[in-house]
Amino acid sequence: MTMVTTTTLNEITTYLFDLDGVLTPTAEVHMRAWAKMFSEVFDEFNVAPYTDQDYFDHLDGKPRYAGVADLLAARGIALPYGDPTDTADMPTVCGLGNRKNDVFTEVLETEGVQPYPGSIALVDALIAEGKQVAVVSSSRNATAVLAAARIADRFEIVVDGLLAADRGIPGKPAPDTYLYAAQLLGASAANAAVIEDAPSGVAAGRAGNFGIVIGVDRGAGRDVLLQDGADVVVDDLVELLDGEPTGQSPASKEGS
């Protein structure tokens, strides 16, 4: 990996942003929704209680049904996969995923969501410099979240869970959704940056051989994000406007 510096960032023409946890703190809403749903499910099956670590280990950044299946398997709970049209009361992977989505939608509508100021400062600076920006999210609620946060007008391209499912594009940690967004913008992976807070998203950026993978530590842990392939990890994206990014991996600093 090459050393990550402000000069290196200036050579990137296209910036592909994850949504939840990168642009907006909707991860907190997702976490509350997941916790409510899985606490009830785990009580019913009499297995170990749900913890916040379950979110980071099995749910964060993954397509909804894939996350449900992963966490159920980790607790030894076997349920049929079902169908995306399953109602929220059905005992299937899809039914549970849809139940969680109902809870999330309710919280989003009642509480709204405010974008991270530092993230929007970076987005606006990039747009002012003529850089291309897009949102790449596993969430099927991405459009609603962008609208609730009042930042939808900044992103002409949004590759979300609905689009990926409709077109059969594999989700994170596969790099395909990020590669598709870059393609829509006419950019190569080498000239694009992936900006992620989830280990699975960081892994997707590394697997796609993107020019730079920037991790944002919102709770997953700096070391975890570096381990999964981030070139640099920041606590807030405003750091990228303040000078040379901090939190680089040893390999990045050595220029290897």
Residues with catalytic function: 18, 20
Q: List, in sequence order, every beta strand (DSSP E) within 25-96.
A: none
CA 178/CA 175 separation, integer angstroms: 6
CA 114/CA 149 separation, integer angstroms: 5
CA 152/CA 234 separation, integer angstroms: 24
Residue 216 is inside which H or E element, if any?
Answer: strand 212-216
CA 224/CA 115 separation, integer angstroms: 24
> How many angstroms separate the Cα of 18 from the Cα of each of 140, 159, 181, 228, 236?
13, 10, 11, 16, 14
Residues in the chain: 256
Q: Please calculate the CA angle 151-25-199 and round it to the nearest 5 degrees.
A: 110
Ramachandran category for residue 106: left, alpha or beta (phi over 0 → left; psi -120 to 50 → alpha): alpha
